[in-house]
Amino acid sequence: MFRSLSLRSASLVALLAAPQAFAQPAPSPFYLGADLSFTNEMEACGAVFRAGGKPVDPFVLLKQKGGNLVRVRLWNDPQWTRYSNYDDVLKTIRRAHAAGLQVLLDFHYSDDWADGDKQIAPAAWAKLDLDAQVAALHNFTRDTLLKLAAAGQMPELVQVGNETNNELLGGVKGQAIDWKRNARLLNAGIAAVREAGKTTHSRPRVMLHIAQPENVIPWFDDATVAGVMDYDIIGISYYSKWSKLNLSGLGKVIDAAHRRYGADVMVVETAYPFTLESADQSTNLLGQDSLIPGYPATPAGQRKYLEDLSQTVLDSGGDGVVYWAPDWVSTRCKTRWGAGSNWENAAWFDLKDFEALPALDFLGKIYRKTR
């Protein structure tokens, strides 16, 4: 089940075998949720989400259907957009908490998208030396959380980085990670979350997040050796288009990671198309090449995918499923990639009327199984 450690030293084997070395998180709920980072923008662009033909607040709908968590991304200083900055994130968190949902705040540590292909340093930090970058990342994390807490909106979970397969603040796919540097940056972010929690008498849980399950064990083994161990949750992005593993393989990684590192494990990003049609001229990211046999690109196929994925996570000892961008529908607004959306065929709302799709019902079905 586990990747061979024959090439590693005896000290590494001892380190990985020592359960006291890892954070032992308190019992947690099975998280069921969605990344609703686009909702404010889509509504400003004219989208009216509906359920049963009537306008609905996506946050309230998520709660009503059985969800308990909203994920929201935060960029440092995104001059190219008015969204996913502090003010927009505060609005999203307020909406989530008002609906009775917990919040997972996702620090990208970038002015733009950070993902499994690249980690772009914020412009203000790019030319700093390592000591200054470590301090900047720490202070930005701590100060953001303290500011949210002062507004009464402390998130319950915090991601220190988004899809950090590559080195924080500048790493790109295919480039070797300098783990001495990377560990300092990751540990600075983790320490900031702990400090903010202590100051505010709260205990936000820390997540580290890797894209695609086949990358999880190698990355976390290296992180462990480098001394990155004070986290509570391992977050995994799983998209069949970009992964080498099927659902069964995903389940094996979840089980292995949970046993190996003593942390909770979640699928914190996933999605599946309900159609191969488009509502605009922007090319959809999830097309024919994203389909899995047995799961057609239909509303029923999308729901079945989510039910089976969630059951796999449950059966493997995992701790939650978060759907990515179910709110990124096609509107009159434009992005850098064209008019409308690159994701409307994988949203939770139909192309024409933004009517809620059957996929949302997986939340209640899985929620009942976890009670």
Give the pLDDT score at 148: 98
Structure tokens at 283: 């090319």
Phi, psi of 49 (to 5 degrees): -75, 145
Measure the CA–CA gap between 126 and 249, rounded to whole angstroms. Answer: 38
Task: Tell me the H-state helices in 270-323.
Answer: 299-315
Instruction: Name all domains of the chain by residue range, CATH numbers in brackets.
Output: 33-370 (3.20.20.80)
Which pLDDT value is given to residue 359?
A: 96
Res. 105: pLDDT tops 90: yes
User: What percent of the chain is helix, strand and coil (3-state, nearest 5)?
Assistant: 40, 15, 45
| Residue entry with tokens 């807490």 | 149
The share of the chain scoring above pLDDT 70, in percent, equals: 93
Whole-number pLDDT of residue 360: 96
d(CA 189, CA 92): 22
Distance CA 22, CA 201 (A): 22
pLDDT of residue 15: 54
pLDDT at 367 over 90: no
**Beta partners for residue 356, in sequence order:** 349
pLDDT of residue 4: 34
pTM: 0.93
**What string of DSSP letters covers 229-282?**
---SEEEEE--TTT-S--HHHHHHHHHHHHHHH--EEEEEE----S-S--SSSS
Q: Is the pLDDT of residue 9 over 90?
A: no
Secondary element (H or E) of residue 149: helix 130-150
Kindly state the tokens that stand for 295. 């799961």
> Looking at this protein, which amino acid is placed at residue 79?
Q
Q: Please name the amino acid found at residue 178.
A: D
Higher-scoring residue by pLDDT: 29, 327: 327
Res. 337 pLDDT band, cuts 50 70 90: confident
Q: Which residues are catalytic?
A: 163, 269
Q: Which two tokens mark 121?
A: 């340093």
What does the pLDDT look like over 86-96, one tens digit per residue?
A: 999 999 999 99
Instruction: Quote the pLDDT of residue 145.
Output: 98
Segment 183-207 shows an average pLDDT of: 98
Helix (H) or strand (E) holding 364: helix 361-370
| R_g over Cα of the chain | 20
Which of 93, 30, 96, 103 has the alpha carbon at shortest distance from 62? Answer: 96
User: What is the DSSP track for 326-345?
Assistant: TT----S-EETTEES-S-GG
pLDDT of residue 61: 98
Average pLDDT of 271-284?
96
